């Protein structure tokens, strides 16, 4: 996991955005913050964060649509998204999870809870990346071994 993971906060309420930014920065996280879904989609093209905190209820493009677009893009689909929302209805939570969110934090949020959830999902994301790298490495090794076995079979078969 990076020494100072990058977090993108997408929140239209300036007080919440500034509060989160200040608190997370104090806890050694590299924070960037935007106030709309469109701005978030642009921001991730410039610099990919390790995790996104995303408000659901925003003007123009809501958090659900923003998440859907992030998960539809191969360059951003693996970035963990945590919704921060005043919505507490189960239907909204299910919709968020179906769109690819990894967690929900209900407003008003507790700063220590936000930090704990961020650290948990950063750790999980890092482990998933390590697992994928190891899987890719094993796949390459498997293909190389398969090629060598086929070569040996051909060599042994031609000598018989």
pLDDT digits (tens, 9 = 90+) for 23-79: 999 999 999 999 999 999 999 998 999 999 999 999 999 999 999 999 999 999 999
CA 22 to chain centre: 21
Q: Which residues pair with 31 in a beta bridge?
A: 7
As given in the structure block, the two tokens for residue 38 are 């469109």
**pTM confidence score:** 0.85
Q: How many other C-beta atoms lie within 10 A of the C-beta of residue 93? A: 17
Where are the domains positioned within the chain?
A: 6-159
pLDDT digits (tens, 9 = 90+) for 141-156: 999 999 999 988 888 8
61 phi, psi to nearest 5 deg: -100, 120
The topology (CATH level 3) of 6-159 is Rossmann fold (3.40.50)
């Amino acid at each position: 996991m990076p020494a100072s993971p990058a977090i993108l906060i997408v929140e239209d309420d300036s007080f919440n955005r500034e509060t989160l930014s200040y608190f997370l920065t104090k806890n050694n996280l590299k924070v960037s913050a935007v106030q709309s879904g469109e701005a978030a989609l642009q921001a991730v093209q410039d610099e990919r964060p390790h995790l996104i905190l995303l408000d659901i209820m925003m003007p123009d493009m809501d958090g659900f649509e923003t998440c859907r677009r992030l998960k539809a893009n191969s360059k951003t689909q693996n970035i963990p998204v945590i919704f921060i929302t005043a919505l507490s209805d189960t239907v909204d939570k299910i919709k968020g999870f179906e769109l690819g969110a990894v967690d929900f934090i209900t407003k008003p949020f507790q700063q220590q809870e936000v930090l704990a959830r961020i650290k948990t999902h950063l750790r999980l994301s890092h482990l998933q990346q390590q697992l994928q790298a190891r899987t890719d490495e094993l796949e390459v090794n498997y293909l190389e071994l398969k090629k060598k076995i086929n070569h040996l079979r051909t060599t042994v078969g031609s000598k018989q």
